Structure 1
């Protein structure tokens, strides 16, 4: 088979990402007719149909999924070559992209990213925050080299570099009535009091949803949010209690502003923090150094 044009692969990738030729054309600032023609030539070269033309847009075929995986592999190998060349230059250039759950922000910046940026100022680092599903998808599609997630679902496209259990516990202000009780608490102990929960589709809420399904109960929180900071402030203000791991609240626990109490339930004891990589993706020297530091220096994985 003749070598596939990288230009055509680029157009193909954008059509897949945008879901339409018009969307890809707008993103690439290229005429839609040019992209359409290149896709047709690509289909002719490969001898397969890549998209089914439907009234609502384009639907990728199985061949398109295979070609997308090939394209990702090409990009990863190109990145790996650049990484090897960077090694020869002493890591003077490069990019490392991370997608993380919110609870990792403070400790990641303090123990890993800030020191790395001081030591290697020529390496460009990007850190984006998202839900557990967004973390998984970013790593699986090569949008991020490294993912840090709380309670991620199993995904055959990924491998876990390091993990450690971080149970869901009850956080309360020291003056709260539940803070005066002896741990472990039961779910029945918590229900009479106002509480705050994370919203879907975050890993923390997925653990709580599984608890509801297993125990056949329905939890009605006084407050829901997509931010761990809001949960923390809710508990600090004495408005009620919240269910979350101790990620991101180490200072408040150490200072006595918050109290963390164990909850006696196997579902809430099971969640893990995980550092995720795409299975089979070679890492650049810079990305490999970042994941090594995460494994060795991030408190979430201490004694892992």
Structure 2
């Protein structure tokens, strides 16, 4: 539905080089280069900074890419309305989230929503926190769930819940029945997310403020790995929010403990959509469903663990 120049432009912008775009499109590098030059002639200025290792969008290119992607998204919405997809007969929702929400929360939200709306399918993209706002602004996802430390620009927040950093362990762990200080964790195997996550950043900040040095026995950027290690190591401790283990905590006999440290309570789980963009009916229904379900489950788990 859009010109060859635009298609090649977006491919180079995403891939970062002519050769990578050539492999993605199965088109000769020379043909892509000619179309990019033709587009730049039509626009009236260069759109890329050309380097030995590739091509990077300049300021004009970034402006052009943003408008192109918004136009394509508007076209998709128009086609969806024409085909009656906004009646939620058959439609796909693009959802982005960070790793903690991908472990059990979002798969179960998608499953339960489809029990009510079986015509809806999902494309779930698990990315770092820094990427979610960009995906929303470029129109590459419809709904996002992420743990946030501050307000994101160009994002509408449909729902927000405190998501403090909690200690997670098996129910028969020696620390399970007592108040915990961070220094108590020195005697037990500690499994932690990598340092790029908000949960790890707040945990490390609390340790620094309290003068506590903790060395994990396992560091990983995948919560499923941390969870499996926890279940196979009776004395192990990991960290997450109540949302990461919201559904499986009972059957898998986990317990959540708050160390009561202010620095570990400075983030929230947010349901986000792109600001200024008209949602489809399926998107609106899923956002409303997710907010209701999160509100209900959050209340139950806080009561169960006195959080």
Q: Same fold (TM over 0.5)?
A: yes
Please provide the CA RMSD for this pair.
2.7
Pair 260,137 (structure 1): closer, same or farther in 2 beyond 3 Å: same
TM-score norm. by structure 2 comes to 0.84
Pair 207,87 (structure 1): closer, same or farther in 2 beyond 3 Å: farther
Deviation at 1:215, TM superposition (A): 4.6
Hey, what does 2:253 align to over in structure 1? 257
Write out per-residue CA displacement over residues 132-183 of structure 1, whole angstroms, 9 at most, x where no aligned residue.
33444433433221111123664324332211002111122233222131x3
TM-score norm. by structure 1 comes to 0.84
Pair 205,140 (structure 1): closer, same or farther in 2 beyond 3 Å: farther
Deviation at 1:68, TM superposition (A): 0.8
Q: How does 1:222-241 map to 2 (within 5 A)?
A: 222-236=217-231, 237-241=233-237
Which of 191, 215, 227 is matched with 1:220 structurally? Answer: 215
Which of 263, 277, 295 is matched with 2:273 structurally? Answer: 277
Write out per-residue CA displacement over residues 60-115 of structure 1, whole angstroms, 9 at most, x where no aligned residue.
211101101111210221123234335577333332111223443434333x3224
Q: Which runs of 5+ in 2 are unaligned?
A: 300-307
- Counterpart Cα distance in 2 of 1:174 and 1:296: 28
Deviating more after overlay: 75-84 vs 213-222: 213-222
Q: How does 1:1-304 map to 2 (within 5 A)?
A: 6-87=3-84, 90-105=87-102, 106-110=104-108, 112-151=109-148, 154-181=151-178, 183=179, 185-212=180-207, 214-215=209-210, 217-236=212-231, 237-250=233-246, 253-254=249-250, 257-298=253-294, 302=298
Q: Which runs of 5+ in 1 are unaligned?
A: none
Pair 234,26 (structure 1): closer, same or farther in 2 beyond 3 Å: closer
- Counterpart Cα distance in 1 of 2:188 and 2:91: 51
- Counterpart Cα distance in 2 of 1:241 and 1:115: 30
